[in-house]
A and B are shown apart, each in its own frame.
Chain A
Amino acid sequence: MEDAARRVQRGDVSAFREIVEATSARLVRLSARIMGSVAEAEDVVQDAYVKAYRAMVAGQFDARSRVETWLHRIVVNTSVDAKRKRTRAREDAIDSSRGQEGTAESAVALAELAKMLDALPEDQRSAIVLKAEGMSATEIGEVLGCSEGAVEQKLVRARATLRERRN
């Protein structure tokens, strides 16, 4: 994927498709768990890809982090921003007409998960969904811009909050 990123930077737009095909499944799932629906997640991830492409062409991706980690960071930030805007616009309730994607069970679970995660601060919510993607504390730290210890702390606090709310 790093090679594809270099080709994109040299102007090969078709190399960007390789990046999209290799990462879209994880990124849409990640965003859907924050947003509560696949349709909204697709919009968010599409925006994130366009931002990433623009940054690559402008030479703003300096390859200090892995392309995938960098994309996760963009998707998490874009999802959190989109969610904040939606909340501000008082559209907090998840739109059931958009929940036609996937199985009915997974659509309901997504909506319920997003609602549950809404109880957490943004950084803890992001840590939980990144952890669910199988990322290590170090990788999550790279995405969120904090130390491994801080990530562990966020995860512990998040789980404790959710447990408290459940009881």
Chain B
Amino acid sequence: MDLDELLEKTKDVGPRNGFSERVMHAVEGERVGLLTFVPRASKRFVPVAAIAAAAAIVWAVTAVRDADDATATSDDSAEVEW
């Protein structure tokens, strides 16, 4: 058989019944995958974020204490006598 004959004989070839459903099932699975990807990815960063938050709190407390100490100690303090 030559090319044109083979193309003619295969012109009615098409998907079998239920193909669209199979595709949509796969696409729905992909969609669920995409929706769960972000929360899954962000879970990996939770421990890092927790450590960073703890470090930020420690730094903030230390900074406030230093500021309080600096305010309480005046260079030119003078006692007032009544």
User: Which residues of A are at the interface with B, using a C-beta cutoff of 8 A?
Assistant: 13, 16-17, 20-21, 24-25, 28-29, 32-33, 38, 42, 45-46, 49-50, 53-54, 57, 101-102, 105-106, 109-110, 112-113, 116, 128, 132, 159, 162, 166
- 5 residue pairs A–B, Cβ–Cβ below 8 Å: A24-B20, A38-B14, A46-B19, A50-B27, A102-B14
Contact of B24 among A17, A32, A110, A166 (CB under 8 A): A17
> Which applies to chain B's interface (DSSP): helix, strand, loop or mixed?
helix
Asked whether A109 lies within 8 Å of B15 as measured between CB atoms, the reply is no
B71 located at the interface, meaning its Cβ lies under 8 Å from any Cβ of chain A in the complex: no
Asked whether A49 lies within 8 Å of B26 as measured between CB atoms, the reply is yes
Q: Closest CB-CB distance, B13 to chain A, in whole Å?
A: 5
Q: Which residues of B contact A166 (CB under 8 A)?
A: 2
Interface residues on B, range: 20 to 34
Asked whether B15 lies within 8 Å of A25 as measured between CB atoms, the reply is yes
Asked whether B13 lies within 8 Å of A102 as measured between CB atoms, the reply is yes
Q: With contacts defined as CB atoms under 8 Å apart, how many contacts are there between chain A and chain B in the complex?
A: 88
Q: Which residues of B contact A42 (CB under 8 A)?
A: 15-16, 19, 22
- A109 in contact with B3 given A24-B19, A57-B34, A102-B12 (CB within 8 Å): no
> Which applies to chain A's interface (DSSP): helix, strand, loop or mixed?
helix
- A106 in contact with B10 given A28-B15, A38-B15, A42-B15 (CB within 8 Å): yes
- A109 in contact with B1 given A46-B26, A53-B27 (CB within 8 Å): yes
